[in-house]
A and B are shown apart, each in its own frame.
Chain A
Amino acid sequence: EIVLTQSPATLSLSPGERATLSCRPSQSVSSYLAWYQQKPGQAPRLLIYDASNRASGIPARFSGSGSGTDFTLTISSLEPEDFAVYYCQQRRTWPLTFGGGTKVEIK
């Protein structure tokens, strides 16, 4: 099973600042990594798939990069609605696995 380690656990930032979130798989997932945003009481929303492809309707301030065992989700300038929890997920092999999440909170 591929373990995904997300860091930091919590990121305290102000609106307008840049957010950089990390996801490190325990073994290579090639480019088969996705990012999700989840707000309280809501289902997760797919932001990025296959490392760098934005899902439909996702603003351009969200971008993904990386391959193998080192991935980054960047939010270029935080909007008030971006404060949420973010998860990564690999689809390189079964079983599918999720990271533990990074909470982006208002500083």
Chain B
Amino acid sequence: QLQLQESGPGLVKPSETLSLTCTVSGGSISSLYFWAWIRQPPGKGLEWIGSIHYNGNTYYNSSLQSRVTISVDTSKNQFSLRLTSVTAADTAVYYCARPHDTMPNVAGAFHMWGQGTMVTVSS
């Protein structure tokens, strides 16, 4: 059974860099899917941050593109999110996710989700 688990600091200071890792278990990150980061500010809706294929192809939300990097480490079966110059507006629950089994190599609908990790931006 595929499982995803987010990890990283729960508190980040303004102007610093937010870094999170998603560890994949029960399956290989080298499978043919676009792995994603999605966030949700408190009391608000879902926002797609970006997606990465194990071969390194990436797509980003245009509103975050200048600050975001998503990378993959196949040796650790992990993928990571890096968001620079954070502000209070980046306070959110951050989820990692994988598309449905029927959606390899394409933009997907997200069937597998991590439990989410709350990141607060505050001094």
Contact = CB atoms under 8 A, between A and B. Distances in A.
Q: Chain B interface mostly helix, strand, loop or mixed?
A: loop
A45 B114 CA distance: 11
A106 interface: no
Given A1-B62, A44-B113, A93 B45 contact: no
Q: Chain A interface mostly helix, strand, loop or mixed?
A: loop
Interface residues of B, number: 25
Contact of B59 (A89, A94, A101): A94
Given A46-B100, A55-B100, A101-B45, A95 B114 contact: no
A25 interface: no
Contacts of B100: 46, 49, 55
Interface stretch (B10-18, B23-31, B79-87, B101-109): B101-109
B116 A96 contact: no
Interface of A: 1, 32, 34, 36, 38, 43-46, 49-50, 55, 87, 89, 91-101
A34 B109 contact: yes
Contacts of B61: 95
A55 B95 contact: no
